[in-house]
Amino acid sequence: MSGCCGNDTNFDGVSDEYKRRLWIVIAINAVMFVVEMVSGHLAKSQALQADALDFLGDTLTYGLSLAVIGASVQIRTRAALAKSYSLLLMGTWVLGSTIHRVFYSEVPTADVMGVVAVLALIANLASVLILVKFKDGDANVRSVWLCSRNDAIGNVAVIFAAVAVAFTGYAWPDLLVAGIMASLFLSSAVQIMKQALYESKKAEQHSPLGH
């Protein structure tokens, strides 16, 4: 995977074009958080609510990414670590609530799931296309790309879950997708954390105080 821990990734987000694109993606994520959280609650869909949380997390972390552009390596890596911790928390919460719903589940409304998931997929594909030019960079930039990519994958999975719920009449496809999304949160958190720690250590080694 290019731009991960063992590679030199110099782009730190200092670009007017990147900032403009990031603002657009932040707005898209904020709107879709509201749409999916309301829809997920009404449709009783764990997968939609998990995806809504992802939109919220992305809105907040992209804002943090924007705030630390141009800052020192240490500040940027701390921001990336903060994002990895938030992903860990979200992944843990989604996984725990999904396990709970296994025992106390209601069959979600498949048509609402499907329509909203398609809207979310369109929003996320737009975000991916907006950011694809800047998919490689430091841990801060890389984390933005990983979150956008995960969102698109998650939306495709929710669409499949909606179809499966409609055909089977059971809630398990919704819960399965929520579990998969939780694993994506956790996996991305580990990737971001590893790269941030690598960059922080590398910066310390090249600092005059590090010798």
State how far the alpha carbon of 152 is from the alpha carbons of 127, 147, 148, in Å.
Answer: 9, 9, 7
Distance CA 155, CA 157 (A): 5
- Distance, CA of 125 to CA of 133 (rounded, Å): 14
pTM of this structure: 0.69
pLDDT of residue 33: 92
Query: How many CA atoms does the CB half-sphere of 81 hold within 13 Å?
Result: 12
* Domain extent listing, the chain: 16-210
CATH T-level assignment (fold) for domain 16-210: Alpha-lytic protease prodomain-like (1.20.1510)
Separation CA 123–CA 35 (nearest Å): 11
The segments of the chain whose pLDDT lies below 70 read 1-13, 100-105, 135-140, 143, 206-211
The pLDDT tens digits of the residues spanning 173-182 come to 888 888 887 8
At a CB cut-off of 8 Å and minimum separation 6, what does 21 contact? 130, 131, 133, 134
- 7-53, pLDDT tens digit by residue? 345 666 677 888 888 899 999 999 999 999 999 888 888 788 878 88
What is the predicted pLDDT for the residue at 3? 35
Rounded CA gap, 48 and 33, in Å? 10
pLDDT score, position 104: 65
User: What is the chain's Cα-based Rg?
Assistant: 18
